Amino acid sequence: MAKHEHIRVAVIGSGFGGIGAAVRLRREGITDFVVLERADSVGGTWRDNSYPGCACDVPSHLYSFSFAPNPDWPRTFSGQRHIRAYLEHVTDTFGIRPHLRLNHEVMKMAWNADELRWDIETSRGSFSADVVVSATGPLSDPRIPDIPGLADFTGKVFHSARWDHDYDLTGKRVAMVGTGASAIQIVPSIQPKVGRLTLFQRTAPWVMPRMDRAISAPERWLHRQLPFTATARRGLLWGIRELQVSAFTKRPDELGLVERLAKANIARAIKDPALRARLTPSYRLGCKRILLSNTYYPALAQPNVDVIASGLKEVRGNVVVAADGTETEVDAIIFGTGFHVTDMPIAPRVIGADGRSLADHWKNGMEALRGATAAGFPNMMTIIGPNTGLGNSSMILMIESQLNYMADYLRQLNVLGGRTALAVRPSAVGVWNRRVQKRMERTVWKSGGCESWYLDANGRNTTLWPGTTGEFRRETRTVDLSEYEVLRAPAKPAAGRRATRKKEAVQ
């Protein structure tokens, strides 16, 4: 076990949020920090998700840090391998390696009100920190539904985010459960090699063509020699997506034209009317995340693929049973069933000022001021916190906005001086959350007629931001101290003064 270590800032997680926070800390002149990572390397979701066909559905030049442009992206939509390599490159370029504490899973962290610090227990030692930045991310812990009989299944079972590369799917009878962003990449990647593929589709997704291509050598040369061209490319990609936001957040009816294009995309690839009907969604486009693929529908049309328009209900031996009663014998079950998004797995491990966990505070729904600070948890910030997700653009834009807020938060603490903490006022969190949820009512995510992973158990959308990334950038530019209570540790008497008082007491 490592000895106890006290640092100014503890960052939890080393995906885009954690590495971004580490870089920003160094750029702010703060070097007294560590990045606590439970795995043996950086990368976050781009380390964990290595399934066949894994790639990003946001253009490469937009899915990268503005302070670390990459002129050598190989494709307009890059794959997992290149995105993970990019994060490794950023880690090296900005000198983050010495701050990494790999294989350090946070088991528990509790607010120490007497010392105004966080006491952190990890799998390899203890730490204390003045400030904690939680960047564990919403796509970190796989969610596998509780299926009766699954534990007794005689074949292979794994989640898309924990892909078993040692298991050969060639000739196997495979059940793919789920039709989200991972599934539509996995299906066409494994369809040619499996013996039979059965897709369990609880809800049909809207799928649009993926405008992907190789980025030419002349383009890459131009971006290297004239960096402003890459900046302009990124700006154009950002602007297009900003213009799309109002259709999602204010005028969902404007998405009707896009729906017709999506239906034409189905018709081009699926000639069987019955299958086409099963694959056509019954809710407004955009209510669930719009998926991009040129190969998903053609794969489903192949003779070795069955689409069951029903969820998986139970497992009997090596037979999987759908909710509609369909029975299929399989050798392997692959779950593409998403992650614990609205019930963050780290939340039960975080104990606040009142002795209650973050999970307990959020049992009726997640909420945090500007997606960053939760009431009852002083000097703790979350990157990609409640209502900071996006439905049509790059999360890196939101992460960088939150890093701006983090930087100003630390500046405010320095200005205040001494052992100081900022505790967000519950009233400020309430005002912010009510405003966000009121705006959410007009969005396609609430009015589009679907159930999605954006919604929590109470039907509230605590995941997405109901506005533009530019607006969020403005909202997080600086910390408003009126929204916080300033906590100061009581001054400790000097040793000489304590001795004098003790002597006087004896006399």
Confidence category of residue 499, pLDDT binned at 50, 70, 90: very low
The torsion angles phi and psi of 100, rounded to 5 degrees, stand at: -75, 140
The terminus-to-terminus CA distance of the chain in angstroms comes to 47
Beta-carbon count within 10 A of 82 CB: 17
Beta-carbon count within 10 A of 257 CB: 11
Contact partners, residue 245, CB within 8 Å, separation at least 6:
392, 393, 467, 468
Mean pLDDT along residues 34-50 = 97
Q: Which residue has the tokens 């104990």?
A: 351
- The Cα 421–Cα 489 span in angstroms is 9
Q: Please give the pLDDT value at position 391.
A: 87
Is pLDDT of 505 > 60? no
- For residue 295, the 8-state DSSP code is S
Cβ atoms 43, 14 nearer than 8 A: yes
**In 3D, which of 323, 302, 312, 50 has the Cα closest to residue 164?**
50
Helices 395-416 and 16-27 pack at an angle, to 10 degrees, of: 40
Q: Please give the pLDDT value at position 398.
A: 98
Helix (H) or strand (E) segment spanning residue 277: helix 273-279
- The Cα 458–Cα 402 span in angstroms is 26
Give the lowest-confidence range in 305-309, 446-450, 484-488: 446-450
Q: Please give the pLDDT value at position 207.
A: 97
Q: Please give the pLDDT value at position 500.
A: 41
- The Cα 381–Cα 230 span in angstroms is 32
Cβ atoms 200, 311 nearer than 8 A: yes
Cβ atoms 332, 157 nearer than 8 A: yes
Beta-carbon count within 10 A of 451 CB: 12
The torsion angles phi and psi of 276, rounded to 5 degrees, stand at: -60, -40
**In 3D, which of 166, 106, 189 has the Cα closest to residue 358?**
106
- The Cα 11–Cα 18 span in angstroms is 6
Cβ atoms 342, 363 nearer than 8 A: no
Single-letter code of the amino acid located at 54: C
Q: Please give the pLDDT value at position 490.
A: 79
What DSSP line would sit under 12-72, residue for residue? E--SHHHHHHHHHHHHTT---EEEE-SSSSS-THHHH---TT-B-SS-TTTSS-TTS--TT
Greatest mean pLDDT range, 90-99, 334-343, 491-500: 90-99
Q: Please give the pLDDT value at position 504.
A: 41
The rounded mean pLDDT for the chain is: 94
The torsion angles phi and psi of 131, rounded to 5 degrees, stand at: -135, 140
Which tokens go with 219? 């383009």
Q: Please give the pLDDT value at position 159.
A: 97
Is pLDDT of 11 > 70? yes
Q: Supply the pTM of this predicted model.
A: 0.93
- The Cα 367–Cα 363 span in angstroms is 10
**In 3D, which of 455, 482, 309, 295 has the Cα closest to residue 387?**
455
Quote helix, strand, coil % in the chain, to nearest 5: 35, 20, 45
Q: Which residue has the tokens 């938060």?
A: 409
Cβ atoms 309, 103 nearer than 8 A: no
Based on the number of CB atoms within 10 Å of its own CB, is 18 exposed (0-12), middle (13-18) or buried (19 or more)?
buried
**In 3D, which of 258, 244, 5 has the Cα closest to residue 121?**
5
Q: Please give the pLDDT value at position 503.
A: 39
Q: Please give the pLDDT value at position 2.
A: 52
Beta bridge partners of 159: 335
